[in-house]
Structures are given as C-alpha cells and as structure tokens.
A and B are shown apart, each in its own frame.
Chain A
Amino acid sequence: MAGRIEARLKELKIELPDSSAPIANYVPYVTVGKLVFVSGQVPREKGQFQYVGRIGEKLTVEDGQKAARLCALSLIGHVRTACGGDLDRMRRVVKLGGFVNSTPEFRQQPLVVNGASDLMVEIFGDAGRHARFAVGVQDLPAGVAVEIDGIFEIA
C-alpha cells in the first residue's frame, strides 16, 4: 500500500519481514481499542534465528544493536498487519520492553535497545518516540541475544 510510511521505508531501503508465526500457543498481537499489544519479537531473518548467544560473551554491543533492530522490524511488521496494511495509521509507539540476554557484569543494555528505539524514530519521526525499559536477562527463546515487545497506538 502506498503511503507516507511506506515511502519512508523505501527511502531507507528497509524491507519489513513477513509477520512471523508464533512458535507456541500464542498470537502475534491483540488490539484493544486504539492500542495494539505485540508479542515479544526475537531477531529473525527469512525465518532463521539471528544473533544467538549472550552479549558480553560471544556477542558485542554492536551485535546486540543489530539484533534489537531486527526485533523492531518484526514489531513493525505485526503493527502493519494490525493496521490492515496501512502503516500511516500508526499514531504512536507507546512503549517498548527491551530484554537483553547478557552476562551478569554487562551494563550497557540501554545501548543495545537503542538499536530498536533509533529505528522507530528513523521510520516514524516524532510518533516513533516512546517510553521503554531495558533489562538484562539469563535466557531468551532459542537463546537469542535480544527480545523486544511493544505497545502501539493506531488510528
């Protein structure tokens, strides 16, 4: 669908992934009124898990940022579906939850989650600015480095 955001995606040479099917008994998103609640997304490309491992061990901050960016692309892919294909209906990124699979000593979770936050602002401008948290965790599905969930407001 042609629109302002689709044009922006093209300009940034970003292709959203096909909305991936959940890996267990859950759904990718639920819409309640104007809010869309999206499941935690993990870094995948063409259906394959990417960036498997812990940050601060096998993987660097930069790897983590790339992983977070992939999570954000998946989130936006689901929001596009929730908007009936028209991302111009995305009004506000309300909240992102950033979970970073990292060693106990690792302290730079915010830098990692910036990989997702920066992408939201790159694509949506001011509407992409959001509240968020970034925490370090022991394990994530498939052992990936980052998982991010989100709440979005749509028109």
Chain B
Amino acid sequence: MAIALKPGRATERLKALGVTLPNPATPAGNYLPWVRSGSLVFLSGQGPIRDGAFVYVGKVGTDLSVADGNAAARLSAENAVAHLAAACEGDLDRMRRVVKFVGFVNTNPGFGQLPKVLDGASDFLTDIFGATAKHPRCAIGVAMLPSNLAFAADLIFETA
C-alpha cells in the first residue's frame, strides 16, 4: 500500500512534476525493504517496477535504449522514495541528504553509457529534493539482475 504523503515541499514538488509514487514493492525474498539506524536509512535494491508490473526488462544497449535505461533508473528512484516515505512516516521533508547511490545497469560488455543511465535517478532525486539530494555515486554494468530487470538502485538517505 502506498503511504499517505504529508503536505510539504517535497510532496508539492512531486505534484508539480506530475509524479505519483509507485506502491512500495514487497521484497522478493527473505529481507526488508529498508532499515533505519539512527538518522540513516539503508534501502534494499530498487528496480523499475510499478505496482507489481516489471516496466523495464532486458539489457540496456541492446533490448532497451539509453533513454529507456534512464527512465528505468528514474522509476527505480521513485520506488526508493516511496520506501523512504514509509521510513519517514509520510513526511518526505525529513529527507536531509542523499548519502550514497549505487546504480547497477543490466547491460553488455562495452556498453559505455552507464552515467547517462544513472542520471535518470540522480536527476529525479535532485528535481524532488533540490541541492540536498546531490550525492556520491557508483555506476556499474552487470550481466543480470533479478527478473532480468534493466536497473537496480541501492540508496542510503540521511533523515531528520
């Protein structure tokens, strides 16, 4: 179930951009979607899923275009923000900092455009939260992801 967002700057921004956050996905195995430790929230890997449907499946560069990959990264980040909302009792304005983002792209050797794919998530986060969402990151091309999804995002947030 999607968590009800409290009114605030981030919620307004989502509305202005016409974004409806996906329902946070249930974990695909014996793990939790997120764990809070003090002010840090550690999320499980998030993929391009919307309300149970696998939206971007296949390898970026062959099955899917770079633009698709970028959109897959963005949708993965939307799922992450949906879980973050749950970790913040619906108050996204408690987001203080995007601490770290690792983006895994399902691709072939020699693909060469990983940063462009990851930008889909990085741009979304900065669009919603502004400068506090600027983050360190790591771009990785991998041979396979769960259900052959095109992307997986691993994120750490700092919250109030």
- Report how far A140 CA is from B105 CA in the complex, Å: 10
The reply to whether the CB of A92 lies closer than 8 angstroms to some CB of chain B is: no
For B39, the chain A residues whose CB sits under 8 A away are 32
B74 to chain A, nearest CB (A): 12
For B100, the chain A residues whose CB sits under 8 A away are 30, 37, 149
The reply to whether the CB of B99 lies closer than 8 angstroms to some CB of chain A is: yes
Q: From known contacts A25-B123, A37-B156, infer whether A139 and B136 are also in contact, taking CB-CB under 8 Å.
A: no
- Report how far A137 CA is from B114 CA in the complex, Å: 12
Interface residues of A in 93-144 (CB under 8 A from B): 97, 99, 101, 104, 137-143
- Report how far A104 CA is from B144 CA in the complex, Å: 12
Complex: chain A residue closest to B118, CB-CB = A24
- Report how far A101 CA is from B158 CA in the complex, Å: 31
Inter-subunit contact B137/A140 (CB<8 Å): no
Inter-subunit contact B142/A137 (CB<8 Å): yes
Q: From known contacts A24-B119, A138-B143, infer whether A30 and B135 are also in contact, taking CB-CB under 8 Å.
A: yes
Interface residues of B in 123-142 (CB under 8 A from A): 123, 126, 134-142
**Total contacts A-B at CB 8 Å:** 93
B117 to chain A, nearest CB (A): 10
Complex: chain B residue closest to A57, CB-CB = B109
Inter-subunit contact A140/B135 (CB<8 Å): no
Indicate which residue in B40, B101, B108, B136 contacts A29 across the interface (CB closer than 8 Å). Answer: B136
For chain B, the bracket of interface size reads: 35 or more
Q: From known contacts A24-B118, A37-B99, infer whether A138 and B137 are also in contact, taking CB-CB under 8 Å.
A: no
- Report how far A40 CA is from B154 CA in the complex, Å: 13
For B126, the chain A residues whose CB sits under 8 A away are 25
For chain A, the bracket of interface size reads: 20 to 34
Inter-subunit contact B115/A141 (CB<8 Å): yes
- Report how far A143 CA is from B126 CA in the complex, Å: 27
Indicate which residue in A38, A54, A137, A147 contacts B136 across the interface (CB closer than 8 Å). Answer: A38
A13 to chain B, nearest CB (A): 29
Inter-subunit contact A138/B109 (CB<8 Å): yes
Instruction: Give me 7 other A-B pairs in contact (C-beta within 8 A), A25-B134, A37-B136, A138-B143 excluded.
Output: A24-B116, A26-B134, A26-B135, A29-B136, A30-B100, A138-B107, A147-B138
Q: Which residues of B contact A (CB under 8 A)?
A: 39-40, 97-102, 105, 107-112, 114-116, 118-119, 122-123, 126, 134-143, 156, 158
Q: Which residues of A contact B (CB under 8 A)?
A: 23-30, 32, 37-40, 54, 97, 99, 101, 104, 137-143, 147, 149
**A–B complex contacts, Cβ < 8 Å, 20 sampled:** A23-B115, A24-B116, A25-B119, A25-B134, A26-B122, A26-B134, A26-B135, A27-B136, A28-B136, A30-B98, A37-B136, A39-B137, A97-B138, A138-B107, A138-B142, A140-B139, A142-B112, A143-B110, A147-B139, A149-B102
